Amino acid sequence: MTWRDPLVALLVGFAVAAALTPLVGRLARAVGAVDRPRGRGVAAGGTPLLGGLAIAAGVAIGMLVALPDASRISEAQIDNLHALLLGGLVITVVGALDDRFDLHPLAKLAGQVLAAAIPVSQGVEVGNITLPFLGALDFHGFGAPLTVLGFVAVMNVVNLSDGIDGLAAGVCAIAALALGFVAWDLASGQHASILAGAVCGAAVGFLVHNFNPASIFMGDTGAMLLGYLLAGVAVEGSVKTNAVLALVVPMMVLAVPFLDTTFVVLKRLKAGQPIYTADQNHFHHRLTRIGFSQRRVVLYLYAWAGSLAMVAVALKYVPYNDDRDHYDPLWTSVVGVVVLAVLAFSAYLVVLLEIVKLRRLDARRLRRASPGLSDREIDEDVRRALETGEIDAITDDHPTVGR
């Protein structure tokens, strides 16, 4: 197997998804699968859904083209990939039905569990992990149910984060690319790099039509499929190994949607709301409310996801230590600088964009309404907004801010 196999899967996946997406949009309109305004998104409604069908086709055809020429892939690994594709077909059907008929959350959850159970039953399973400083942790008989739970979690994380043009497709493409690089460096996971290439290519091909202003949405069809496939790549490409970084890498690569979902779910639990209820508290909602355009919000979140993915790849490829845990001073310093830079950028997004700019813009709005307000009163208003998540659209009178 050579690097050309994942590249072929990527290019074919891109071409197929880019070509089929407009046709899928017409199909969605014909069957009535169009977006309606919901609490989770920022779109006005009326845009066709089912874009995930084009992504599914891109991944499937990319795999069909690349796999026959791939050498040094065992029969068991090919069977695992086939099981992943079969489960992908199931979740695609579930997502398409949900996009058209709005399935009950429990019915959708049942479909997710069924899709995840297919590859897990064929051996796509995590039986143990290696934790830093703690060593190996064996799951014994709980490996299969925990792996199914992991698949379902990633599906829902991606689905919940899909609320603005191009966000889910771009972040998932970045994640697939990073996971593909990591998988390629592992002899036991190189077959997963082909799937990662197909996922990355199909996501970018769909993004051609989904970047703001989007002409089509992936819907639950695409969001759940991408989450499912990324989970499959992570399990086959890194998590099943005995390396210490096996679990760290996918967690870093998917950190942005995981942090976003965790933040939103905690706020819903605090408010006593069902966790599946849509709201306006995702990162992209909050950044949009403080004045950024949709494109700028998405590009910032791409940069955040990309920087975290870069750290994950660097931890795998940079020779900062050997197998005996001896650390090279130079390369360890390089990794440290990269990690610090990414932490600084993360702090910039979370603190400066979310709080500092909010205070500046809120002060302008409040002082226009009440010129005598003190700095303390303005700080109190910002504190209340951040705690409750009820941030007003404070740039209505300043449409050029953040554009």
pLDDT at 217: 96
Q: Which residue do the tokens 């230590």 mark? A: 321
54 torsion bin: left (phi>0), alpha (psi -120 to 50), beta (else)? alpha
Structure tokens at 385: 């907004």
Structure tokens at 343: 């932490």
Report the 3 state secondary structure along the chain.
CCCHHHHHHHHHHHHHHHHHHHHHHHHHHHHCCECCCCCCCCCCCCCECCCHHHHHHHHHHHHHHHHHHCCCCCHHHHHHHHHHHHHHHHHHHHHHHHHHHCCCHHHHHHHHHHHHHHHHHCCCCCCEEEECCCEEEECHHHHHHHHHHHHHHHHHHHHHHCCCCCHHHHHHHHHHHHHHHHHHCCCCCHHHHHHHHHHHHHHHHHHHHHCCCCCCCCHHHHHHHHHHHHHHHHHHHHHCCCCHHHCHHHHHHCHHHHHHHHHHHHHHHHCCCCCCCCCCCCHHHHHHHCCCCHHHHHHHHHHHHHHHHHHHHHHHHCCCECCCCCECHHHHHHHHHHHHHHHHHHHHHHHHHHHHHHHHHHHHHHHHHCCCCCHHHHHHHHHHHHHHCCCCCCCCCCCCCCC
Domain residue spans in the chain? 4-245, 282-403
Is the pTM here over 0.75, yes or no? yes
The mean pLDDT values, 10 residues at a time, for the chain of 403 residues are 89 98 97 76 73 98 88 86 97 97 94 98 87 72 93 94 92 96 84 96 98 95 98 90 74 88 80 72 75 86 93 82 70 84 83 62 69 70 61 44 30
What whole-number distance in Å separates Cα of residue 198 and Cα of residue 192? 10
Given a contact cutoff of 8 angstroms between Cβ atoms, the answer to whether 385 and 392 are in contact is yes
Given a contact cutoff of 8 angstroms between Cβ atoms, the answer to whether 257 and 112 are in contact is no
Q: Output the CA torsion sign for 7, 12, 15, 16.
A: negative
Structure tokens at 280: 């306006």
Question: Residue 174 corresponds to which amino acid?
Answer: I
Question: Residue 163 corresponds to which amino acid?
Answer: G
Q: What are phi and psi of 84, to 5 degrees?
A: -65, -40
pLDDT at 335: 81
- Residue 325, classified by CB atoms within 10 Å of its CB into exposed (0-12), middle (13-18) or buried (19+), is exposed
pLDDT at 92: 98
pLDDT at 344: 87
pLDDT at 375: 67
pLDDT at 395: 46
